[in-house]
């Protein structure tokens, strides 16, 4: 199981991070460790990766991911990280050797930097945040 956070800025861009061990960008977050709640995992990962302590908002996305890259299926959760103003953004420090960098991305930039399933998940999370809903996806797509 994995969990991440959707952060937005004042113009609606999303914060993406560039891991050193992957060939694509993603939302801040990571793998939920044994005995750890998904919410606690996101808070821990954000602290480890970006040196930020943030209160998380509500759950935006539950996305079932079929076997593929990993041998088993899984679930990805995305929480609302909220609005990061210039003051908090200025405090971002890459503390982890896991990240090359981070960037604010509009919808087109996010779609370009993210693989298909992640692009769909982030787009759904953005809509859910604006609409005040939580969405269930399967492989990044709305379940029928």
Indicate which CATH number applies to the domain containing 76: 3.90.79.10
Q: Residues 52-67: what's their mean pLDDT?
A: 93
| Percent of the chain whose predicted confidence (pLDDT) is above 70 | 97
119 vs 25: CA distance, rounded Å: 10
What does the DSSP 8-state code read for residue 140? T
Q: Between 71 and 19, whose confidence is greater?
A: 19
- Whether 142 maps to a domain, the answer reads no
Q: What is the pLDDT of residue 98?
A: 86
Q: What is the pLDDT of residue 95?
A: 76
- Whether 104 maps to a domain, the answer reads yes
42 with 29: CB under 8 angstroms?
yes
Q: What is the pLDDT of residue 47?
A: 94
Q: Residues 89-100: what's their mean pLDDT?
A: 88
Q: What is the pLDDT of residue 72?
A: 65
- Whether 143 maps to a domain, the answer reads no
- Whether 87 maps to a domain, the answer reads yes
pLDDT band, very low/low/confident/very high, at 57 (cuts 50, 70, 90): very high
Q: What is the pLDDT of residue 70?
A: 60
CA distances in angstroms from 84 to 45, 75, 87, 104, 134, listed in the order given: 17, 26, 8, 10, 21
3-state secondary structure of 129: helix
Q: What is the pLDDT of residue 143?
A: 85
- Whether 144 maps to a domain, the answer reads no
Phi, psi of 6 (to 5 degrees): -100, 110
What does the DSSP 8-state code read for residue 33? P
Measured from the Cβ of residue 79, the count of other Cβ atoms closer than 10 Å reads 23
What's the domain count of the chain?
A: 1
Q: Residues 117-127: what's their mean pLDDT?
A: 96
Q: Name the pairing type of β-strands 99-105 and 141-142.
A: unpaired
Phi, psi of 56 (to 5 degrees): -90, 145
Average pLDDT for the chain: 93
23 vs 96: CA distance, rounded Å: 17
Residue-number span of the structural domain to which 12 is assigned: 2-137
In this model, does residue 141 exceed pLDDT 90?
yes
């Amino acid at each position: 199981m994995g969990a991440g956070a959707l952060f937005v800025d004042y113009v609606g861009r999303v914060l993406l991070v560039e891991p050193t061990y992957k060939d694509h960008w993603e939302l801040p977050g990571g793998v939920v460790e044994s005995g750890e709640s998904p919410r606690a995992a996101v808070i821990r990962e954000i602290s480890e990766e970006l040196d930020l302590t943030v209160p998380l908002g509500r759950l935006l996305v539950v996305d079932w991911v079929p076997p593929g890259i990993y041998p088993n299926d899984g679930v990805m959760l995305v929480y609302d990280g909220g609005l990061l103003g210039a003051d908090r953004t200025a405090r971002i420090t890459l503390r982890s050797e896991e990240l090359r960098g981070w960037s604010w991305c509009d919808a087109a930039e996010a779609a370009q930097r993210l693989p298909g399933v992640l692009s769909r998940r982030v787009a759904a999370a953005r809509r859910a945040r604006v609409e005040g809903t939580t969405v269930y996806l399967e492989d990044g797509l709305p379940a029928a």
